[in-house]
Amino acid sequence: MRSKLSVDESMVPYYGRHSAKMFIQGMPLRFGYKIWAPCGSDGYPYKLKLYRGKEPGQTKLHLGTRVVNDMMSTTESCLAVTKNEVYFDNFFTLYDLLKSRAEQNIKATGTVRDNRTAGAAKLMKPNAVMKKNTRGEFDFRCDGRAFVCKWKDNSIVTIASNTRSLAPS
């Protein structure tokens, strides 16, 4: 059995005073509580975790990596699945996260920021050149562990995945 999960954040509106209240500029819902959640393809969340800011004694791992590791440890213990696929946005996606998920035989895919591709983005065409291309053109790099692809849509979109580095199922 296969499980497809998405890890993302959500804002719960709150305009009162509380130390856990967040302000995120540029979001439709700017004030409120940030909640992390892994959700299945059926739309149900498997865990909700309130983000309370920096916690004492945190490891040096990236925040997105810590959140995904925490969310996946919960889903692995409560779901009777043999294989997982996880999807996330550019807040979470990091080359090291994709590599660690591959070591655990978990397929992971997400949009990625150019500075989080472990140098792959520097080997591809620059964004200024890609913007001049016609819609649908792309450039990619793969090191056997992760695949990074940059393509021209309305803007330049970069994704990274470890799905091709894992054995087919």
Q: Which amino acid is at 126?
A: P
The pLDDT > 90 percentage for the chain reads: 34
21-49: per-residue pLDDT in tens?
A: 888 888 888 889 999 999 888 888 888 98
For residue 145, how far is the Cα from the chain centroid? 16
Give residue 129's pLDDT.
Answer: 92
* Phi then psi dihedrals of residue 77, to 5 deg: -80, -25
- Which two structure tokens, joined as six digits, stand for 71? 């969310």
Give residue 56's pLDDT.
Answer: 76
Kindly state the average pLDDT of the residues 72-92.
74
Spatial CB neighbours of 52, under 8 Å, sequence gap ≥ 6: 19, 20
- Which two structure tokens, joined as six digits, stand for 109? 């895919």
Beta-bridge mates of residue 150 = 139, 158
Res 163 pLDDT > 70: yes
Beta-bridge mates of residue 49 = 36
123-152: per-residue pLDDT in tens?
A: 999 999 999 999 999 999 988 888 999 999
Question: Per-domain residue ranges for the chain?
Answer: 1-92, 109-169
* Phi then psi dihedrals of residue 50, to 5 deg: -75, 130
